[in-house]
Chain A
Amino acid sequence: MKATPDTLTVSVWRGAESGGSFESFEVPNFESQTILDIVAWIQQNSDPTLTYRYACRVGMCGSCAMMVNGVPRWTCRTHVQKVVQDNRVEIAPLRNLPVIKDLATDMDPFFDKWIAAEGLHHPTKSRHDPIEQINPESAARVEAASGIECINCSVCYAACDTVANNPDYLGPAALQRAWTVYNDSKDAGRQQVLDAVSGVGGCHNCHSQGSCAVHCPNDLNPMKAIAGLKRATATSFFRKGSRT
């Protein structure tokens, strides 16, 4: 069937981890529609068995990312007109993660790596202590703040070829979080972070491909954060070397 101007031809990947294929749908072409909207339209009107995931619908929760015309994107904030080519769109599950069904992936590996990178706070204080005065313009804080708005959507993880080729690689988001933790003056785990990102899947695997930064919907720059980790680990490597 040929798409008329008021419909879109949407090719959607169907299947599970074991395999699948693209299936084509005709979807009405409304003004103000996002990719998530057309996916939902298909499930609600065309094929009730289509599976996908979303929650916030405003770019805050990072659960709706998919491959749109081969590019990883947050679908709830991707206007159809921005990506449509000849009235066609191709939608597939996010790359580099196991598929559960259709467009929904298993994000556990992404979060396991987040924790493996020590991407969590290591407290120096308790709830009984006052809140620390921290100059928001201090160099370390500015560095820590630069990656803090990550919504763990895994778009960068899907964009990175190193992730695709190296199952151990912790990936851009987890490493960026580690860099934030490392720069947090309230954190007691700085050496822990450096050790965690220096192992076989660590920051040193990154080839500065930069796809993470290009595709991050929040304009974050994990590549820069990873470079920071490389610098910090290298410095610490020499320091340790001179001590022993």
Chain B
Amino acid sequence: MIRPHRTHTLWFAYILHRLSGLSLALFLPAHFYIMSLALTQPERLDGFLKWTDLMIVKVAEYGLVFLLAVHIFGGLRLMALEWLPWSNGQKTLAAAAVGGAFLISTMFFMRAI
């Protein structure tokens, strides 16, 4: 729940990082499973890959790439915050991480369609 004490940029950055990490972690086993089909049943892998031609799946993939990108940039921001000399522009950096993630995932999406 977004309670009043949470309504600020860095808290949103935190929750976005957490939810993206969580989603990625849940998606990952599925991804591994599909990929391992290459070994056992290559035709089923193709079946799955065909499936990815569907628009709805493309949008889902777009989301996934966004989550990955936003998690990476967010993670890099956090590690920079923790280990590099302090910078006061944390809000800007958090926003930049989200912006960068949009850019990359949109690129992915444009190429995919």
Contacts and interface: CB of A to CB of B under 8 A. Distances in A.
Q: Is any CB of A less than 8 Å from a CB of B in the complex? A: yes
Interface of A: 69-72, 95, 158-159, 161, 207-211, 214-215, 223-224, 227-228, 230-231, 234
Contact of A70 (B5, B10, B11, B90): B5
A215 B10 contact: no
Most chain A C-beta atoms within 10 Å of own C-beta, residue among B6, B10, B11, B82: B82
A85 B4 CA distance: 13
Nearest to A162: B14
B14 A208 contact: yes
Interface in B65-93: 78, 81-83, 86, 90
Provide the main secondary structure of the chain A interface: helix
Given A207-B14, A208-B14, A210-B90, A230 B83 contact: yes
A207 B18 contact: yes
Contacts of A231: 82-83
A75 to B, nearest CB: 15
A137 to B, nearest CB: 17
Interface residues of B, number: 17
Shortest beta-carbon contacts, A-B, top 6? A210-B10, A70-B4, A230-B82, A209-B14, A214-B8, A71-B4
27 contacts: A69-B4, A70-B5, A71-B4, A72-B5, A158-B5, A161-B6, A161-B11, A207-B14, A207-B18, A208-B10, A208-B78, A208-B82, A208-B90, A210-B10, A210-B14, A210-B90, A211-B5, A211-B10, A211-B11, A214-B11, A215-B5, A224-B86, A227-B81, A230-B82, A230-B83, A231-B83, A234-B82
Contacts of A211: 5-6, 8, 10-11
A95 to B, nearest CB: 8
A237 to B, nearest CB: 12
Contact of A227 (B6, B10, B86): B86
B5 A159 contact: yes
Nearest to A230: B82
